[in-house]
Chain A
Amino acid sequence: MNEDMYRENILDHYKKPHHRGKMRGASCSGHAINPFCGDDITFYLKMRGKKVEGASFDGAACAICTASASMLSDEVQGKGAEKARAIGKERVLELLGVSPGPTRLKCALLPLKAFKLALYSHLGKKMGEKEKAEIGEADENGAEEAEEGSANGKVSE
């Protein structure tokens, strides 16, 4: 299960993450933490109308989480809000190319949670139950935690 967790593409993104750093003039941000291991990710988005013009992330996280955030920041650039919103767990795991166990799955999906909190706070919409469950799926109280987390999404004026 774990032997190929630290494969080349993950290590590349971990060692040289793309779009790392706080974004100046971001339209919105989302913050998510994994209390189990202390992973802490903030996702920043620059929106132009309904399009994601730029994305960056910051925080302290393990290799899986950092790589996932880096890949996701690539993935969402230039996407329309609806397309970006449709990115889910499957796509993130596809990008990573691994299928982590339940513990590391939380690490892998944390950036997605931060990203979605940012996007939804910008759209001023509420996340659907299914989507909430998906980003917090590995948590015992997935839906509730996601809801709690949504308070952390911020829209910059």
Chain B
Amino acid sequence: MRMMAFDVEKIRGDFPILARKINGKPLAYLDNAATTQKPLAVLEAMRDYYENSNANAHRGGNALAEEATEIYENARKRLARFIGAAPSEIVFTRNATEALNLAARFCAGQLGAKKILLTEMEHHSNIVNWQLAAKSAGASIDYVRMRSYGKLCRSDFEERLAKGPDAFSFTHASNVLGTVNDADALCRLARKAGALSVVDGAQSVPHMKVDMHSVGCDFFAFSAHKMLGPTGLGVLYVRKGLADRLEPIFGGGGAIESVMLSGTAFARAPQKFEPGTQDVAGAVGLAAAIDCLEKTGMGAIEKHVAALHGACVDGLKEAGSVEIYGNGRKTGIVSFNVGRLHAHDIAQIASDDGVMLRAGHHCCQPLMAALGAPATARASFYLYNTEEEAQRLVASVKRAKKVLS
């Protein structure tokens, strides 16, 4: 049953791209875990900024620069409110990957982490960053194992945590399985064990209400483009006590208090972590995206997405010989394989029908190895998707079965 307030047709009207045709078929965009579409409100807010207020934020005392600074900082405040953080805890980056790289370098560098604990469930962007940071710091990495049905193994986590890692990093929600890890509990246990905690929230923040204080982590990363915002902007939350202590990794203009030839006094957080001209328009777009999400309601979005997930899973099961991995109800991810067909062929045939899926290892080779599948096809839903689109996916899967076997 759909909530009164949730009018998917009205929502779709705000996304011009959804009226597009692909191969002569109406576009069914089911690749939202990769990136989401942008509503007019986001595009207009960014355009309005460039048309009317563009200047270099945090530079110069002219009236326009001050206006741009205010707009930029208001966007930071808007975001801080959305995730229950203080504005000074929000660092803007290029994307979630850069945010996770920074977090890894802070931990293995200045914070002296020598033993790092990750999980098998991670996206490559939360493995490779640690491997690089660990290599230059001479740190070691251990991995929490995953059950073949796609959940972290609790006893394995506790065993490895008992070995005393200095930092623990994990994905809040899997981009392959949609499985949601209990971030609050994991961070609490890590803290109790004396480990820093770093959360990859790229797949969780777009889909559920996430509050930094209840998560209780030291670092938290996500990106704007997976939650209706523009590409090119990521976020690193840095807990206040740490943000004050840490020195920036990249230096440059705007991040300083004063520069002498003998050394530099850095600005306060978060400015000290944001050297160089910032993506003000991107921040404006993200703030507008948050407005859109909250207008619809995170709870309502979660419900709608869960209903689509359910319809999709039911349809695929009915189609027969479909294996579904994990349980991506909350984040709307359905990762699957069909008999012995290759995921690439499924995605290609669906694409020919106008249905956009992703096929492959989803930048998660260790996770795929744990699943025992080299590739899966993945559908991922968001607030503007419809049950009809889920049915079209099922129809494409049936067609693929017919064509290929």
Contact = CB atoms under 8 A, between A and B. Distances in A.
Contacts of B375: 37-38
B361 A35 contact: yes
B403 A2 contact: no
A2 B352 contact: yes
B405 A15 contact: yes
Contacts of B368: 38
Query: Among the interface residues B344, B360, B404, B405, which one has the most CB atoms of the partner chain A within 10 A?
Result: B344
B404 A104 contact: no
Nearest to B342: A62
A14 interface: yes
A11 B361 CA distance: 24
Nearest to A104: B348
Contact of A37 (B344, B349, B404): B344
A37 B352 contact: no
A38 B360 contact: yes
Query: Among the interface residues B342, B375, B404, which one has the most CB atoms of the partner chain A within 10 A?
Result: B342
Interface in A24-40: 35-40
A69 interface: no
A93 interface: no
A3 interface: yes
B343 interface: yes
Interface residues of A, number: 21
B345 interface: yes
A61 B404 CA distance: 13
Interface string A104-143: 1001000000000000000000000000000000000000
A14 B374 contact: no
A106 B359 CA distance: 14
Query: Among the interface residues B345, B365, B368, which one has the most CB atoms of the partner chain A within 10 A?
Result: B345
B331 interface: no
Given A37-B359, A62-B348, A64-B344, 14 more contacts: A3-B23, A3-B352, A5-B352, A6-B345, A11-B403, A11-B404, A36-B360, A36-B361, A37-B344, A37-B375, A38-B368, A40-B374, A65-B342, A107-B344
15 contacts: A2-B348, A5-B352, A6-B345, A11-B403, A15-B404, A15-B405, A38-B368, A39-B344, A60-B342, A60-B374, A61-B342, A62-B342, A62-B343, A62-B344, A63-B342
Interface of B: 23, 342-345, 348-349, 351-352, 359-361, 365, 368, 374-375, 403-405
Q: Which 5 A-B pairs have the closest CB atoms?
A: A38-B374, A62-B342, A38-B375, A62-B344, A37-B344
